[in-house]
């Protein structure tokens, strides 16, 4: 997965952290959790706030 794969990342995070409310997560934690995903293999430097917002939005939609 890469940073542009917002929905795939969100689904993986939902599976890895089922008890976490994605509306309450800090972007620093979100970024770290994405980097820790086994299938994630993009450059950490390519991350920005807009990307993290997209991931969080997908996670919130799947969480509901």
Given the candidates 3.40.50.450, 1.10.10.600, 1.10.287.180, 1.10.3720.10, the CATH classification of the domain at 6-63 is 1.10.10.600
Q: Which helix (H) or strand (E) holds 61?
A: helix 49-63
Supply 52's token pair. Answer: 């993290």
Centroid of chain to Cα 48: 12
* Residue 18 predicted with pLDDT over 90: yes
Supply the pLDDT for residue 43.
97
The model's pLDDT over 20-52, given as tens digits with 9 standing for 90+, comes to: 999 999 999 999 999 999 999 999 999 999 999
Per-domain residue ranges for the chain? Answer: 6-63
Confidence of residue 63 (pLDDT cuts 50, 70, 90): very high
pTM, two decimals, is 0.94
pLDDT class of 59 with cuts at 50, 70, 90: very high
Tracing tokens 């969480």 back to the chain, one arrives at 63
């Amino acid at each position: 997965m890469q940073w542009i794969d917002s929905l795939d990342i969100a689904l993986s995070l939902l599976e890895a952290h089922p008890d976490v409310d994605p509306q309450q997560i800090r972007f620093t934690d979100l970024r770290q959790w994405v980097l820790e995903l086994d299938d994630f293999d993009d450059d950490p430097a390519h991350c920005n706030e807009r990307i993290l917002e997209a991931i969080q939005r997908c996670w919130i939609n799947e969480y509901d």
